[in-house]
């Protein structure tokens, strides 16, 4: 084989290696973002809604009567394939944190007295 042919083969192998590395990093980034979105979805649609329902429900019906203090995440919902969920309450807000099982990161959201998310906090190397 000539020198030019060997150079083209080496160049081809290098280009394929770079393309595979870029493709793998894009695939991993997509999985991390997908996991973060799934945790956010769970926080918004399951736990924030449940916390607000607890907040507005009268004590006679098992609610907090305008107080988040007694709200807790049901044991069956505290863990799923996306993450582990915990809650920290005070009378006027409820902070729900979802920690990823797969990646290093967590997502926290604070629910206000109007039932809306007041702020989001993304922690961890992968979730920033």
Which of 20, 50, 34 has its CA nearest to residue 126? 34
Q: What is the model's pLDDT at position 1?
A: 66
Predicted TM-score (pTM) of the model is 0.79
pLDDT, block means (10 residues), the chain with 128 residues: 86 92 83 92 94 95 93 94 95 95 92 92 77
- Domain ranges in the chain are 3-123
Question: What's the chain's length in residues?
Answer: 128
In whole angstroms, what is the distance from residue 114 CA to residue 66 CA?
10
């Amino acid at each position: 084989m000539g020198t030019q042919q060997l150079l083209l083969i080496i160049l081809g192998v290098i280009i394929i290696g770079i393309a595979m590395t870029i493709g793998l990093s894009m695939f991993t980034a997509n999985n991390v973002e997908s996991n973060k979105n799934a945790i956010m979805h769970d926080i918004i649609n399951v736990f924030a809604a449940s916390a607000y329902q607890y907040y507005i429900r009268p004590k006679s019906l098992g609610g907090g009567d305008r107080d988040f203090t007694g709200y807790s995440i049901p044991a069956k919902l505290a863990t799923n394939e996306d993450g582990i969920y915990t809650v920290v309450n005070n009378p006027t807000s409820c902070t729900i944190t979802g920690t990823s099982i797969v990646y290093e990161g967590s997502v926290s959201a604070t629910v206000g007295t109007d039932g809306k998310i007041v702020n989001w906090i993304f922690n961890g190397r992968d979730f920033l």
